[in-house]
Structure 1
Amino acid sequence: MRKFDIRNLKVRSVSADQISERLLLINLYATQGITFIIGMLWVIFQGRNAILLFRFPEDYRFAVWAAGLALAVVLLDLLVSRWTPEEAMEDGGINERIFRGRPIWHIVLICAIVSVCEELLFRGAVQSSFGPYWTSILFAAIHVRYLRHWIPTGMVFAISYALGWVYIHAGTLWAPIAAHFLIDLIMGLIIRLRREMKS
């Protein structure tokens, strides 16, 4: 029987085009599942009720905060994309692969899962421990595909900070969840639409 030797492990960089469609989706859903579990455990270890965190507010003003932030982010992204070289905004093709050929119902599902899982962890759990600034540093760092370029990294940090600010002012986790959902949904639909217009 051969012994396992960790020194024989090799790590290599893989581009988005080298990953199969199935593996890409498995990776997406698995990482979101892990994110959700970590978020729930973190909230529980803080001595807070994770179920109450998801209590839907009676007042719908949070939706105005969410829609306003989503609109501002999408407009900013479109403006930056218009005047910035494409290579400076490169994310390794992941967003393109996730959204370009996906049916609309699946884009909606992906955006809903990502927004709930990531906002639970980052706004619901991490921000309560470290505040919006350090949470945004961590949020930008885990979006590792953007770290090669300072413009998208700065934008991810700013969006995260804005989501944290909206959470504080709206007083409900549903505000950043809704904003995150709308941002991802609109950008995902733009990617899909752009592909349809090219073909």
Structure 2
Amino acid sequence: MNKWKSKWKDLKNIRFQKAVRVDELSDKVLLLNLYATQVLILIIGVVMLLIQQTDMKTLLSFKPGWGILLWGGGLALLVVAADLIVTRFVPEDVMDDGGVNKRIFAKRPLWHIAVLCLVVSVCEELLFRGAIQHYLGPYWTSILFAAIHVRYLQHWLMTGLVFSISYGIGWIYVHTGSLWTAICAHFIIDFISGCILRYSKEE
């Protein structure tokens, strides 16, 4: 009995730490977090695709040819242009993500920005467009996609933008039938946004 009382006391004495802020993380820990998250997303995506017995040859088909670049690049440029317009006219605090994107890209060399964007676009599109959209369709997949971007949820405009981008990527994936179109769009959006954060001058 005394043993259980002692354990209960130990449980009562547990103190939960506050959520760690981005600016409290070292660059190494931040990057490790990002890559670890993407590996987890990739594993979940691959497992789901295996369960679905997805034909990977069809999923990763280059059959649309230049259509991959036209649809993927076209959507990406549209998204970046819309983002620049919104950023120009909307107060900064409405677009604030807690400084995460800035910390990830601001001091990164160009090659590393490209690697980060490629890893994120391949892993996330494999899971969301390749696996989850098969079950839920583009609309509910986009709601889930927006929900996992937790840092945007406190701002309705950012959540709406992430949902719209995801839905657009889901739509071009359905239209072309190749996951490379979705990966291409996601990569270009992230890469251009990363380069803007990296090379734009502080006011």
Say yes or no: TM over 0.5: yes
Residues 7-47 of structure 1: CA deviation (Å, up to 9, x unaligned): 83614222210111000000000000000000000111112
Question: Is the CA contact (8 Å cut-off) linking 2:169 and 2:185 kept in structure 1?
Answer: yes
Distance 1:193 1:12 in 2: 33
2:124 to 118, 128, 151: 118
What aligned pairs does 1:66-85 form with structure 2 within 5 A after superposition?
Answer: 66-85=72-91
Name 1:29's counterpart in structure 2: 35
Task: Single out whichever of 46-55 and 158-167 deviates more from structure 2.
Answer: 46-55
Distance 1:118 1:126 in 2: 10
What aligned pairs does 1:46-65 form with structure 2 within 5 A after superposition?
Answer: 46-50=52-56, 52-57=58-63, 59-65=65-71
2:152 to 146, 161, 177: 146
**Relative to structure 1, is the Cα distance of residues 152 and 6 closer, same or farther in structure 2, using a 3 angstrom cutoff?**
farther
Distance 2:108 2:129 in 1: 28
> Which stretches in structure 2 are left out of the alignment for 5+ residues?
1-5
CA RMSD of aligned residues (A): 2.0
Q: How many residues align?
A: 197
Name 1:198's counterpart in structure 2: 202
- State the SS of the aligned residue for 2:63: coil
Distance 2:156 2:202 in 1: 29
Q: Which amino acid aligns with 1:67?
A: G
Distance 1:141 1:12 in 2: 21
Distance 1:156 1:23 in 2: 25
Name 2:3's counterpart in structure 1: none
1:189 to 149, 171, 195: 195
Distance 2:135 2:119 in 1: 23
Distance 1:173 1:118 in 2: 11
Residues 135-158 of structure 1: CA deviation (Å, up to 9, x unaligned): 000000000000010000000000
* Shift, 1:60, TM fit: 1.9
**Relative to structure 1, is the Cα distance of residues 131 and 103 closer, same or farther in structure 2, using a 3 angstrom cutoff?**
same
* Shift, 1:53, TM fit: 2.4
> Which stretches in structure 1 are left out of the alignment for 5+ residues?
none
Q: Larger Cα Rg: Structure 1 or Structure 2?
A: 2
Q: Identity of paired residues, percent? A: 52
Task: Single out whichever of 7-16 and 181-190 deviates more from structure 2.
Answer: 7-16
- TM-score (structure 1 length as normaliser): 0.93
- TM-score (structure 2 length as normaliser): 0.91
What aligned pairs does 1:148-167 form with structure 2 within 5 A after superposition?
Answer: 148-167=154-173
Distance 2:139 2:15 in 1: 36
Residues 47-90 of structure 1: CA deviation (Å, up to 9, x unaligned): 21346522433622121000110000000000000110000001
Name 1:8's counterpart in structure 2: 14
**Relative to structure 1, is the Cα distance of residues 56 and 147 closer, same or farther in structure 2, using a 3 angstrom cutoff?**
same
